[in-house]
A and B are shown apart, each in its own frame.
Chain A
């Protein structure tokens, strides 16, 4: 990837300050490991896979929204591929209805992605195996015993005038995931049919995986890794009796999720590590990584120069800072991000709108101040009234409790998680700290 030229106009600054995750190998990537306050997450996840003497491992990966998870997972994928692994990466949001998802949906999506991924990797699976798997899904999900007839039906359904492009099993899996994603009634029916058959479902997926891995090894590959990104976007929901949909997926059905015979990396919502049942989660998935915020300050509210320098460097990879920013204003902007790279980008965008009509250094103290005040007022929409006393508590203790309100605060970036070594601590986002309601809650207590 060629080095991008640095932004020297407001328009270029506006466009380079884009919150979309970087692709692997983008020269604008800045290694934030040290200032995030933990060890290198990608390196750790890589080692769990590469150093294992088993063909299968399972890990969880989490972090705040927009803190760079996808960027890090792209790096992991690249590193694994460089080391000779076949990697199937997919975003759960593309394959599943994340709004209403249970573990069978995830497994079926994995089956579809594995089959599609193996085809893309040029792995030819023998017809007998594919027929067997087709037959199983056809019988269990659709109660179709006549394979030939059903294949013809599917072909007709998928061709829509054009000749079918997919093989029968791909069509069948696409039909099932399609119905799971969009058909509210058929979804329930498919789930109720798969649920009692779960051991068999896993067995079929493992057949696919093991045959695939066998061929991959002959091609000189080290093994197969599946990375499921964006599962952390599952909105938290109570199911009654104190359970949450997160608990149901990762804890109650964690064993099913980890029983596939290849290396697995699942993303999870950061809030699930603050569940009351977290100990059960850690016993199912001992390998978990959190990608924390970049530290901009210490738990004692003192500025943390190393972190601020990295944030500045993230901007310096994209923008000609000397030409575009006035000095103390730039430092203010970095601190205001709370160490969250995407928020930093948003603030830069806002500041462009208020920039002065002169060069050099059009983004001055006034522009930054107005950008911050607008961002703060927008933030107030994310914070329900009832949270403010709790937020005052977090600000003082620098810790979160295990309750739903705090989970929501982590989920919505109202409270951020930082690391000192392996010790997580929390703080209220700087923009929330500016809200009048927060300040009065702080002085009330």
Chain B
């Protein structure tokens, strides 16, 4: 354990003294709220408080939520029970037990930043009296600022029982340490791969951290750090498929990085590209193009050919999505020479892969296979197993289209292996989904459903509602073939709900499909929904 206690700022030390003193005075239940926006500081404070309380004979029981908290009181009671020394009898316990204090962290996971009136607050507010009974000890809730306000507003009965709010302020060094925790270059799928709970935790931490910058003077260092937080927030929201929120954060970041570095900086063009990606995901393809087209001339002015190629690649994908395949090919062809000039073989492989996708869409499957082979070679040369897996998956898809189902399965197996090696659960889910399609074609409907289920469970682990919608729709196709309209309807209801949540462009079609199935079911008497 690092000896950081000595590093605490004098104001924080005196606030902590008051908190410790109050805990020491309190007998039975008493509620204290400790406000701190920066996790590193909070951890130091908790460590120091533990030591000081231990010296006073008070043992701290810590309850740390790592997911949306439910049954807070029961969790606290369970932690208390677990803290009791085993083997001592009830009567002996009362004589020898040390005084306890309960520290709760992570409640903010259940308190959305922009919609704080949440379930966990209602639970605290209503369950207030039960804390007296189940946790008759001083209770300290460690919360970021916005969550403290949320408790005051939306859990007023609980709030009214507080015996003090203790406000701790982070200094510049502590804030910087907190930011470093979130930076560093990691591949995209490390974000999309995180469980939704971990992404949520990061998002709350970043949002709280941002609050600490609200009242700071506008000096370059603070602006830069604020921009980094906003960009990281954008990334985490995009990875969680909350693209609207991601766009809002990126837009705020954009104006800061402009202000800080001028138009031509790499930070600006990267942010423009990120904005393009989220608007593209939101289906606003023309808006996305607008951002990419802002980035291109800036990159050309400073001669950032690698960046230019990446932007062109993104533009190509938009045209592909707009069904302008010829235009997409044209753009990709511009990206390739740039990537070759700067020796970016990984990027070249990605572009080739995208070109293959276009040829596949143009029904030029042989041509697509040729291009994919080139992409595969490059990916292997640079050791990009993630990219290799993507291309193998796409090759499998081509073979499926060509009616070569068994060949398709071979490639999917290879893709699966690599996705698992690099831990890309999103990619793995996509391939499993495709394997389901193959088995459906082969008439092995039960086997198809098995693979769809496997894909679903991965989609849900990483919170990919988009992928989940696609796979569920594929299941509908199987159920319809099986004549199981009840199951088909059940899945379609979920598909429509998922589409609504992510703004899926096929929403209208899927709704129509649902109505069609419902009409069919009404026309087929004797089939009743199982409750």
Contact = CB atoms under 8 A, between A and B. Distances in A.
Interface of A: 10-11, 14-15, 18-20, 65-66, 91, 93-94, 97-99, 189, 230, 233, 235, 342-343, 346, 349-350, 352-353, 374, 378, 381-382, 384, 411-413
Contacts of B162: 346, 378
Nearest to A98: B126
B160 A99 contact: no
B156 A20 contact: no
A10 B25 CA distance: 8
A239 to B, nearest CB: 15
B148 A346 contact: no
B8 interface: no
10 smallest CB-CB distances across A and B, nearest first, come from A381-B152, A99-B122, A93-B126, A381-B149, A14-B25, A382-B152, A11-B25, A15-B27, A349-B163, A412-B156
A416 to B, nearest CB: 13
A381 B148 contact: yes
A349 B164 contact: yes
Contact of B26 (A15, A66, A98, A374): A15
Interface in B131-164: 132, 148-149, 152-154, 156-157, 159-164
A233 B125 contact: yes
7 contacts: A11-B25, A14-B25, A15-B28, A66-B160, A99-B119, A378-B152, A378-B162
Interface string B241-270: 000000000000000000000000000000
Contacts of A66: 157, 160
B22 interface: yes
B223 interface: no
Contacts of B129: 91, 93
Given A19-B160, A378-B152, A381-B152, 19 more contacts: A14-B26, A19-B161, A65-B156, A65-B160, A93-B126, A97-B126, A98-B126, A99-B119, A99-B123, A99-B126, A233-B125, A235-B154, A349-B164, A352-B25, A374-B164, A381-B149, A382-B152, A384-B153, A411-B156
B126 A14 contact: no
A19 B130 CA distance: 15
B346 interface: no
A353 B164 contact: yes
B21 interface: yes
Select the residue from B119, B153, B160, B161 with max chain A CB neighbours within 10 A: B160
Interface string B102-129: 0000000000000001010011011111
Interface residues of B, number: 33
Nearest to B150: A381
Interface in B501-531: 531
Contacts of B497: none
A412 B153 contact: yes
A412 B149 CA distance: 13
A346 B26 CA distance: 13
Nearest to B153: A382
A235 B122 contact: yes
Most buried by A among B27, B126, B157: B126
Contacts of B123: 99
The SS class assigned to the B binding surface is helix
Contacts of B28: 15, 18
Given A235-B154, A412-B156, A413-B156, A93 B127 contact: yes
B165 interface: yes
A412 B125 CA distance: 12
Nearest to B155: A235
B475 to A, nearest CB: 21
B125 A378 contact: no
A20 B29 CA distance: 10
Nearest to A340: B160
B18 interface: yes
Contacts of B159: 382
Contacts of A99: 119, 122-123, 126
Nearest to A19: B161
Interface string B76-108: 000000000000000000000000000000000
B486 to A, nearest CB: 17
Interface in B24-51: 25-28
B22 A14 contact: yes
A338 to B, nearest CB: 13
A353 B148 contact: no
A378 B165 contact: yes
A14 B18 CA distance: 13
A412 B152 CA distance: 9
A384 B152 CA distance: 11
Contacts of A14: 22, 25-26, 163
Contacts of B154: 235
A235 B125 CA distance: 10
B346 to A, nearest CB: 47
A350 B26 CA distance: 12
Contacts of A381: 148-149, 152-153
A93 B130 CA distance: 10
B157 A233 contact: yes
Q: Which of B26, B132, B156, B161 has the most CB of A within 10 A?
A: B156
A10 B24 CA distance: 11
A18 B26 CA distance: 10
Contacts of A230: 126
Contacts of A382: 152-153, 156, 159
B473 to A, nearest CB: 23
Contacts of B117: 235
Contacts of B165: 374, 378
Contacts of B125: 233, 235
A99 to B, nearest CB: 4
A19 B128 CA distance: 12
Contacts of B156: 65, 382, 411-413
Given A93-B127, A99-B122, A346-B162, A65 B26 contact: no
A4 to B, nearest CB: 13
Contacts of A98: 122, 126
A413 B160 contact: yes
A237 to B, nearest CB: 9
A381 B159 CA distance: 11
Nearest to B132: A20
A10 B156 CA distance: 27
B29 to A, nearest CB: 8
A353 B119 contact: no
B530 to A, nearest CB: 12
Nearest to A378: B165
Interface string B156-200: 110111111100000000000000000000000000000000000
B164 A350 contact: yes
A102 to B, nearest CB: 16
Contacts of B132: 20
A233 B121 CA distance: 12
A7 to B, nearest CB: 11
A381 B21 CA distance: 24
A340 to B, nearest CB: 9
B256 to A, nearest CB: 25
Nearest to B18: A353
Which of B153, B163, B165 counts the most chain A CB atoms within 10 A?
B163
A20 B162 CA distance: 11
A417 to B, nearest CB: 16
A233 B160 contact: no
Nearest to A99: B122
A356 to B, nearest CB: 14
Contacts of B26: 14-15
